Amino acid sequence: MTLDQLVALLKSVLTTPEVIAVTIVIALYINVVNFIVRYRKRPPQKKPRRRRAQAPLPAATAGEEESAPAPRAEGKKSRGKASAQKEEAEEEENPNRRQKRK
């Protein structure tokens, strides 16, 4: 087989519809696999929190004294009564437990 016959044979094999179709399918498959391997999720974007409208303070009646709100400890947010009691109970159970920061 001469070189001219070999080139003619390769040309006829490579130009058949089956070979072209299989080549395209393999290229698409490799692209999909690369996309899946390199896919990175975007970090979730924080949504702006809605601010609660503060309710107006009730007017003091003539017979009642106005009491000042209890001062909060610095660095801590005020929590409901149930949450505070729950945390105290947990601290009593395990005093070495670290508190989570929010």
Structure tokens at 48: 């702006």
Average pLDDT, the chain: 78
Give the per-residue pLDDT at 54: 75
| C-alpha–C-alpha distance, residues 11 and 5, integer Å | 10
Give the per-residue pLDDT at 26: 98
pLDDT(91) > 90: no
Each residue's pLDDT tens digit, 37-69: 999 888 888 888 877 777 777 766 655 555 556
| C-alpha–C-alpha distance, residues 87 and 97, integer Å | 11
Share of the chain above pLDDT 70, in %: 60
Structure tokens at 81: 């009564």
